[in-house]
Amino acid sequence: MEQGFWHALDEAERHALRAAARPRQFAERAPLVYQGDQSDHVIIIERGWAKVTSSTEDGHEVVLAVRGPGDLLAESAVLGGRTRSATVTALSPVRALVVPAGRFTGFLDEHPQVWKLVSGTFVQRIEDADRRLQEHVIRRAPQRLAGLLAHLAERSAQHVPPAPDGSIAIGPPLSQGELGSWMDASRETVARSLNSLRRAGLIRTGWRTITVVDLPGLRAMAAGQPTSEPRAQYESSQPLPPPHQLSNAEWRVAKLAAEGLTNRQIAVRLSITMSTVEQHLTRVYRKLNLTSRAEISSALPSLEPGEASP
C-alpha cells in the first residue's frame, strides 16, 4: 500500500526536511502549482487533498491523479529542470511544506538514501498511469470506478480510522465530473456507475460524500469478480436506513427534474423562484442519499406521491 513520501522518511530525515521548508496553507480550490510555471520548489502535503490536472489545447481539464497527506508534489519538474507539467489544486483546505529547489536537492545530497525513495515514487506514478490506461481498455465503467474508489478508500483509511461498522469515508471530496475525468467517462456514466455500486451494497452516497461499506466487495467488482456474497453479508449485517420522506413541494420539483426540466423551467412551471428550486433539490439529494440530478429518476419510482409529507 502506498504510504506517501513523508511517511516513508525516518525522524531525522523529517526533521532535516522540515528545517529546509516553510509551512503554507492553501484554501479549498486554491492552486498549489500551475502547469507551465518554472520549477523552483517542491511541496509535501501534510494535511488535506489535492487533484493533479492537465489542460488540453482546447482548454479541457483532465484529472490525472489525487494526492493526499504525505505525498510529494512537483519533484520531477524540479529534478529535471523543466517547467511544471500539470496543475495541482486543493480539493480541501491543505497544509503543506514548501521546499525551495536548491534546499531540496541539498537535502537529497545529504541524505542519499532518499534519492531511491524519490525515484521509486516517480516510477510508481508512471506505472499507475499505465495501469489506468490498460483498465480503460479491458474494464467497464463500473469496474474502473470501483477500482478508483477502493484506492481512495485505502488511502483515506490511512489517515482517518474506519467507522465501528468497518465503513470508510473517502477523504477527497471529488465531484462526479472530476471522477469522470479521472476515469475517462462522462458525468452521466459516473452517476449510473455510482448507482450500480450503491444498489450492490458496496457504497453509500450523500451530498458530495462517498462511503465504502464493503471494501473487499469493491475490490472484487474492480477485478471483475462476482460480488453477490459481499453484498449479502453487508445487507444481513447492516440495518436499513429509515425512509426519508419528501414534502409535496420537494416531490413536485424532483419529479420535474427527473423529466429533464432545467431549474429555470421548473421555476416557471411551478411559479417559484430559482433559489427555491435549488433549495428543494438540495433537500431531495440529502433525503434520498443522491449525489446528482441524474440519479433522481431512478430513486423516485421507489416512492409514491402519497408518501410525501406535507
| Per-residue pLDDT, 109 | 94
User: What letter would DSSP give residue 140?
Assistant: -
Handedness of CA 11, 17, 22, 28 (dihedral sign): negative
Query: Alpha-carbon distance 296 to 274, whole Å?
Result: 18
pLDDT of residue 310 exceeding 70, the answer is no
| Per-residue pLDDT, 105 | 92
Q: What is the mean pLDDT of the chain?
A: 84
Q: Per this entry, what is the length of the chain?
A: 310
Q: Where are the domains of the chain?
A: 5-136, 161-237, 248-307
| Per-residue pLDDT, 104 | 94
Superfamily of domain 5-136: Jelly Rolls (2.60.120.10)
pLDDT of residue 230 exceeding 90, the answer is no
User: Tens digits of per-residue pLDDT, 272-282?
Assistant: 887 788 888 88
Query: What's the grid cell of residue 307?
Result: 408518501
CATH of 248-307, one of 3.40.50.620, 1.10.10.10, 1.25.40.20, 3.40.50.1700: 1.10.10.10
User: Tens digits of per-residue pLDDT, 9-27?
Assistant: 999 999 999 999 999 999 9
pLDDT greater at residue 15 or residue 136: 15
What is the SS3 assignment for 46?
strand
| Per-residue pLDDT, 84 | 86
Query: What's the grid cell of residue 258?
Result: 427527473
| Per-residue pLDDT, 240 | 39
| Domains 5-136 and 161-237 equal at CATH topology level | no
User: What letter would DSSP give residue 133?
Assistant: H
CATH for the stretch 161-237:
1.10.10.10
User: Tens digits of per-residue pLDDT, 53-67?
Assistant: 998 777 788 999 999
| Per-residue pLDDT, 2 | 59
